[in-house]
Amino acid sequence: MSIKFIASSKLPTPWGVFTMHGFEDLETGKEHVALTFGEWDSSQAVLGRIHSECLTGDALFSLRCDCGFQLQTAMQNVAEAGQGFILYLRQEGRGIGLINKIRAYELQDNGANTVEANEQLGFAADMRTYGMIVPMLEKIGVHRVRLMTNNPRKVNAMQDCGIEVVERVPLQVGKNRYNEAYLKTKSTQLGHMMSEHFFVEPLDPNK
């Protein structure tokens, strides 16, 4: 995979000033971003997250998923820790793209769960790949990670790429009445590691 670093700039956010590093996949034309906060040396286990693009959750504040909640919490956690990174990968809809994601949502509106909807459209439940993370992490100097995720596939993907995952840091946020069934499907059918306590906590009455 041919990933080219393009440029870096400051990115002020509600949680602090991050540095944004832009990358281009020369084979697909897709653009990916690494956000970094603070400094570290190559021996440190750095707090970080691999986050796949979710326009609806990240930018449009959708309550159908937990993506936007996870992104904001990850950024806050990194800022509070004083150092860390987030890789923002352009893999909308677990890799099926935005329009197909909307088609999947339509199927979910009619009773399918998130896995069944993808399969009815002819896709696997999760189409994402993670080969692009290797040059991105190399550029920002990360070799050992404390990974914020509930998804064991991301842990395995990093280890397969030669990145040492020292710790998995749970990121259980954003449950509401619109996404509770979706989260349970991710837990039971996609193997996401969520505690039973997360599902018995009261729902936010405002969502």
Active site residue ranges: 126, 128
Distance CA 78, CA 94 (A): 24
Of the candidates 171, 142, 174, which has an alpha carbon nearest to the alpha carbon of residue 51? 171
Sheet holding 164-169, edge to edge: 3-13, 16-25, 31-37, 84-89, 45-52, 144-148, 164-169
The DSSP 8-state label assigned to residue 201 in this structure reads S
Alpha-carbon 78 to chain mean position: 14
**137 contacts 45 by C-beta, under 8 angstroms:** no
Please name the residues in contact with 64: beta carbons below 8 A apart, sequence gap of 6 or more. 56, 57, 105, 178, 179, 182
Residue 163's nearest CA partner among 112, 81, 87, 95 is 87
Q: Which amino acid is at 15?
A: W
